[in-house]
Chains A and B, each alone.
Chain A
């Protein structure tokens, strides 16, 4: 994901669709740099910011097929990863997916991905297992800390790509629940 992407958007000719000064854009948390307290914002590029903040612009990704751009910024040392897209286009897309009734309903497969790179310390489930909400699936170890991943919902284990002892990168699929 963003951490390991080498290409950077500086000097790119492609613009975010509509994300020019004066048109509102939607800024949504993305990737590992998002905290639970951060919500989507609708802002106007270039609008005045709180003065006195220390801002570092990190990686700026090339626009994806929907014209969304992944942007990393660090404000007063806090790292944020955002998806930036034209607000009008975002609203349109939202309406379209609502009309389709939603793509990934409660019954669809759910991929559990690594939220930190590390080493798989242990795997507690095998394909076919029935798991309940909150049940431990596996543990990923990074820097002396064990991070237990729990089932975000009940279901049946479809696949377990992770194996104990293997190294995983940020975003790797570890377990799939059906």
Chain B
């Protein structure tokens, strides 16, 4: 198995392969020559310089590496080439198995408009909007989309047809803002995806982001393995995910799963995928899109279903039908008996609008203990390169119910030790301490959470005094040689030992 990815997901896939006795081949860029995923694999092949465009996105080099090492299959992970139909096709044509959906299905779902049309035809409620690509350099298209905007209704979103991750997206509050948003959205889409086509969607807000984990085999069986609430986001990127989605009734859950399965079957999907929906304040679901790959947040589903989704992906890629374990898990998800939550620890500054802050990690210690799983590829002293995604670890906890999972997450986050780089940890801790987040029915969850409830600079300012005293004391203690301490034992203030240093060294919450 060749893993066409890096970081925690490459390591996570290698681990499953090792469980199954499958040899692994890592690929790496110059930035990752000493990375954990390279050390963990049975073999490793350099594929190019640090920039992703010259390494992890070079499908040709990855296929060459697979052929040279005799790999029988390629797992693309998430991101990078995972949803490039051309790559999946080239892999298959080279006589190598691609662990993921068929190229035609990736193509159909990667085209957001085709996915919207497919879902609509499968009787799945789709976010109101347009269904055809509009090119802003064509007068006819512009006239049509301006007319359509009245029907869609304001506020609305201009979105990139080839897009994802919020790129090319523009919010339009009133008709006079539409022309400028069309031009700006199209330009950004062209720059990001090489395709400037856009479409409109009505803005559903407030809303929760809820998605369904799907698994299908090549005999046309598709099952839902529960849903995940991913409402806590910044810049349309997820920060926290949990399963099941809090507060859904059994009927709502069953209806949602059925809609996702219908959309996936209509698209001819097999292997792992995720159907994303918005859940509005009138408790209606609206189809957004299908991601034809393993998601970052698949781990929470694994904790609740006790499945290894990567292993199931491999069985499916080998031509097997869905396993008994998958069927059993799928029939149990309507009434979940466990709850799992994940926080994505990223090298970002939550006091500066989550700006990425790459650098070298100093101290690094991750939590463990009952109900805790951590997926990471970072080791103490590792460099977080500026070339890739800033996510550095996924901390997950599981328990009988949400209350226990959250309680364990609070404990787990208090065990996290990272120095050298700023991380999203302060936000995660504040979120878990917020009684509104802990509310069981999920009614306070919203994609606007970060914008409405998070004030990073203020939160940082509140600990500055403590940080200054801690630094002063640490410097003084470092300066104190053993002889100095012997001379002046009475100078050591007793308060420090009990309230500060001891806590700092032990890392345990009180």
Contact B475 A16, beta carbon cutoff 8 Å:
yes
The CA of A14 and the CA of B478, in the complex, are separated in Å by: 9
Q: Which residues of B contact A19 (CB under 8 A)?
A: 472, 475-476, 479
Q: With A32-B357, A78-B463 known to touch, is A54 a contact of B414 (CB < 8 Å)?
A: yes
**Does B389 have its Cβ within 8 Å of any Cβ on chain A?**
yes
Contact A142 B51, beta carbon cutoff 8 Å:
no
The CA of A10 and the CA of B475, in the complex, are separated in Å by: 10
Q: With A19-B475, A59-B420 known to touch, is A77 a contact of B425 (CB < 8 Å)?
A: yes
The CA of A55 and the CA of B425, in the complex, are separated in Å by: 13
Q: Which residues of A contact B163 (CB under 8 A)?
A: none
Q: Which residues of B contact A51 (CB under 8 A)?
A: 499
Q: With A56-B363, A59-B419, A143-B388 known to touch, is A10 a contact of B504 (CB < 8 Å)?
A: no
Contact A142 B386, beta carbon cutoff 8 Å:
yes
Q: Which residues of A contact B464 (CB under 8 A)?
A: 35, 37-39, 41, 80
Contact A46 B426, beta carbon cutoff 8 Å:
no
Segment of B124-132, B257-265, B292-300, B487-495 in the binding face: B487-495
Question: Which chain A residues (64-101) contact chain B, with CB distance < 8 Å?
Answer: 69, 71-80, 82, 84
Contact B478 A25, beta carbon cutoff 8 Å:
no
Q: Which residues of B contact A38 (CB under 8 A)?
A: 460-461, 464
Q: Which residues of B contact A16 (CB under 8 A)?
A: 475-476, 478-479
Q: How many residues of B contact A (CB 8 A)?
A: 70
Task: Say how far A152's CB is from chain B's closest CB, in angstroms.
Answer: 17
Contact B358 A143, beta carbon cutoff 8 Å:
yes
The CA of A159 and the CA of B337, in the complex, are separated in Å by: 65
Task: Say how far B477's CB is from chain A's closest CB, in angstroms.
Answer: 8
**Does B417 have its Cβ within 8 Å of any Cβ on chain A?**
yes
Question: Which chain A residues (1-36) contact chain B, with CB distance < 8 Å?
Answer: 3-4, 9-10, 12-16, 19-22, 25, 27, 32-33, 35-36
Q: With A27-B468, A73-B470, A116-B358 known to touch, is A143 a contact of B386 (CB < 8 Å)?
A: yes
Task: Say how far A110's CB is from chain B's closest CB, in angstroms.
Answer: 22
The CA of A82 and the CA of B360, in the complex, are separated in Å by: 18
Question: Which chain A residues (107-149) contact chain B, with CB distance < 8 Å?
Answer: 116-119, 141-145, 147
Contact B469 A47, beta carbon cutoff 8 Å:
yes
Task: Say how far B167's CB is from chain A's closest CB, in angstroms.
Answer: 9
Contact B466 A75, beta carbon cutoff 8 Å:
yes
Contact A49 B500, beta carbon cutoff 8 Å:
yes
Task: Say how far B13's CB is from chain A's closest CB, in angstroms.
Answer: 22
Contact B474 A37, beta carbon cutoff 8 Å:
no
Q: With A36-B457, A71-B474 known to touch, is A58 a contact of B419 (CB < 8 Å)?
A: yes
- Kindly report which residue of chain B lies nearest to residue A15, judged by CB atoms: B479
Contact B480 A15, beta carbon cutoff 8 Å:
yes
Question: Which residues in B have some Cβ–Cβ distance to A below 8 Å?
Answer: 50-51, 347, 351-352, 355-360, 362-363, 386-390, 414, 416-429, 457, 459-461, 463-481, 484, 488, 491-493, 495-496, 499-500, 503-504, 507, 509-510
A-B contact pairs, 27 of them (CB 8 A): A3-B421, A9-B478, A15-B480, A16-B478, A20-B484, A35-B351, A35-B352, A35-B457, A37-B351, A37-B464, A38-B464, A41-B469, A45-B469, A46-B495, A48-B493, A49-B466, A54-B414, A56-B418, A57-B419, A58-B420, A71-B472, A75-B470, A78-B467, A82-B468, A82-B472, A116-B358, A117-B359
Sample of 10 more A-B contacts, CB < 8 Å, known A27-B471, A143-B387? A19-B479, A27-B472, A45-B472, A53-B503, A54-B429, A77-B418, A80-B467, A116-B386, A117-B358, A147-B355
